[in-house]
Amino acid sequence: MRLLERLGIYARAPDGRSVREIEDDIRDEIASHIAMRTDALVAEGVAEDVARQRAHEAFGDAERVYAACRETDLGERLMLQRINFALMIVALVAIGVFAWRAEATTASTGEAFGRLEGQLESLAGTVRDSTSATSDELAQLAGTVRESGSSTVVEDRIAEIAIRLEELRAAGAGPRQAEVVSLQQQIDALTSDKLRGVIGEGAGQGSAGVRGSALGVLGAVTRPKSDQVFVFGYVEEPGGVDWDKDLTLLMALSECGGTQQFADLTKVRIIRDKKKPIVVDVKEIIESGEGDLELKKGDRIVVPEAFF
């Protein structure tokens, strides 16, 4: 009880009046007291103005009395106001820190993808200069990437691949010029359009998208035979398909287990030699039954993701 009293909390229920009403009440009471003292002095024969002055002097510091009474009457309310104020400050600080952290996280996510993009470009540059990467070694590296699950690990693996390609180039192993050119084109495409699209989707999906694209690219260049076509992107089983002169686009997609749910069939690209990619509307071919293209040895087929 003593502690509660010290805190300004008394046993009675809170006053139902407003703060203003309580303050006015205290001032009225003090004024009433001074007026009654003045009346008494006037009744004793003291002049009214003198009486009023003596009444004020006898009362003492009216503001101090008012403040003491106000503190008593508004004890809990003043304390609650102080607690509310403190809580508001804490909440504002918490919101500030949260906003700062969110900003920092967004910036850091952007930086991470920026770094990843830079590494891929670096990889493309390395491949561009390389004439010696063998398919078996690339396949091994691609397998390593497949085992990874997070964007950070993918980043590390890409860095390793770049180093490994440098080593292969330095070692002067047997030339696989066609595959290197293919890898170069595909990584160029990845670093320009695809990666930016994936980054635009957001951090969580972005990591998986980048990983999937990297695997698609690597999957397409890991076939040892050159008399194949290569299918990658949003098909069930990306990779090489044995070529013969009757092989068509639909047949190649079929060989890869068909397309995935979110594949964009209206913009399937065929990369042939070093020419500009041919964009084919596979959906139209399926619906009309006409226009299926015959493929040539070494064609690369890219099935993109449909963006909603």
Partner 1 sequence: MTEERPDLVPGTLDMLVLKALSGGPLHGYAIASRIQVLSEDVLRVEEGSLYPALHRMARRGWIDASWGRSASNRRAKFYELTRDGKRRLRERAAAWERISDAVARVMSAEFTRGARGA
Residues that bind partner 1 (CB under 8 A): 5, 10-12, 25-26, 28-30, 32-33, 35-37, 39, 58-61, 64-65, 68-69, 72-73, 75
Tell me how far the alpha carbon of residue 259 is from its chain's centroid: 30
Shortest reach from residue 72's CB to partner 1, in Å: 4
> Nearest Cα to 185, choosing from 297, 293, 277?
277
Cβ atoms of 132 and 167 within 8 Å: the answer is no
Six-digit token string for 274: 């070093």
Shortest reach from residue 11's CB to partner 1, in Å: 6
**What are the DSSP calls for 173-212, one per residue?**
PPP-HHHHHHHHHHHHHIIIIIHHHHHHH-HHHHHHHHHH
Cβ distance to partner 1 smaller for residue 64 or 276: 64
Six-digit token string for 223: 């076939």
> Nearest Cα to 198, choosing from 210, 215, 185, 187?
210
Cβ distance to partner 1 smaller for residue 65 or 181: 65
Six-digit token string for 293: 């293209």
Half-sphere exposure of residue 114: CA atoms within 13 angstroms, side-chain side: 6
> Nearest Cα to 119, choosing from 147, 159, 151, 86?
159
Cβ distance to partner 1 smaller for residue 35 or 104: 35
Q: How far apart are CA 75 and CA 205, in angstroms?
A: 56
Cβ distance to partner 1 smaller for residue 6 or 245: 6
Cβ distance to partner 1 smaller for residue 9 or 139: 9
Shortest reach from residue 53's CB to partner 1, in Å: 15
Shortest reach from residue 68's CB to partner 1, in Å: 4
Cβ atoms < 10 Å from Cβ of 295: 24
Shortest reach from residue 89's CB to partner 1, in Å: 29
Cβ distance to partner 1 smaller for residue 32 or 152: 32
Shortest reach from residue 35's CB to partner 1, in Å: 6
